Amino acid sequence: MRDTEDGAHALEVFLASVERKAFRIAQIALRHEADALDVVQDAMLQLSARYSARPAAEWKPLFYRILENRIRDVQRRRSVRNRVMAMMPWRSGEDDEPAPDPIAEAVDTGPSPVTLLESDEILRALEKAVAALPNRQREAFLLRNFEGLDVAQTAQAMKCSEGSVKTHYFRAVQALRTKLGDLRA
């Protein structure tokens, strides 16, 4: 009984520690707040239901693997829907959700010490550049750079070798540097 309570507490602490970054990762990939929230919730539920009995050290790579799978599911569904909609020109725009407005979608960073130093334009440019990366490069960059996973954990989350992680990450940084320079305001 005590173990169960401890396990629940550990899981709650873990989820609280990853939920915001997970949301931002999903939001950057999907460019849609509601979809990002749904994806994060699904990942939390799946981790809790299926993998909470695993050692806590395995949770983070597992959680991000689930999250990336859910992100790809949403991207795939969107792609199929867009293709179907393209074949039905008379329906275009009828039931479509309005395209996400990048300005409205941009996170309200608020007056924090970090964001006071950075302009919204730079953040938006960064998000746009990261979102434009190929999926694997985006995953590697966000997991390594933003979430702070090490190479081994990132490889576990991406289900690939550590060498592939290094390659994807290097290419992602190169692509971002080409687009953004050194990110100075």
Where along the sequence are the contacts to other proteins (CB under 8 A)?
A: 4, 8, 11-12, 15-16, 19-21, 23-24, 33, 37, 40-41, 44-45, 47-49, 52, 107-110, 112, 114-115, 118, 122-123, 126, 130, 142, 145-146, 173-174, 176-177, 180-184
Q: Considering beta carbons, is residue 85 or 173 the nearer one to other proteins? A: 173
State the minimum distance, in angstroms, from the CB of residue 116 to other proteins. Answer: 9
Residue among 119, 128, 137, 123 at smallest CA distance from 173: 137
Q: Considering beta carbons, is residue 51 or 85 the nearer one to other proteins? A: 51
Q: Considering beta carbons, is residue 21 or 85 the nearer one to other proteins? A: 21
State the minimum distance, in angstroms, from the CB of residue 134 to other proteins. Answer: 17
Cα–Cα distance between 84 and 78 in angstroms, integer?
A: 10
- Measured from the Cβ of residue 178, the count of other Cβ atoms closer than 10 Å reads 9
Q: Do 103 and 153 touch, CB atoms closer than 8 A?
A: no
Q: Considering beta carbons, is residue 7 or 82 the nearer one to other proteins? A: 7
State the minimum distance, in angstroms, from the CB of residue 171 to other proteins. Answer: 12
Q: Considering beta carbons, is residue 45 or 84 the nearer one to other proteins? A: 45
141 Cβ neighbours under 8 A, 6+ residues apart: 130, 133, 168, 169, 172, 173, 176
State the minimum distance, in angstroms, from the CB of residue 184 to other proteins. Answer: 8
Residue among 11, 18, 15 at smallest CA distance from 56: 11
Cα–Cα distance between 30 and 114 in angstroms, integer?
A: 24
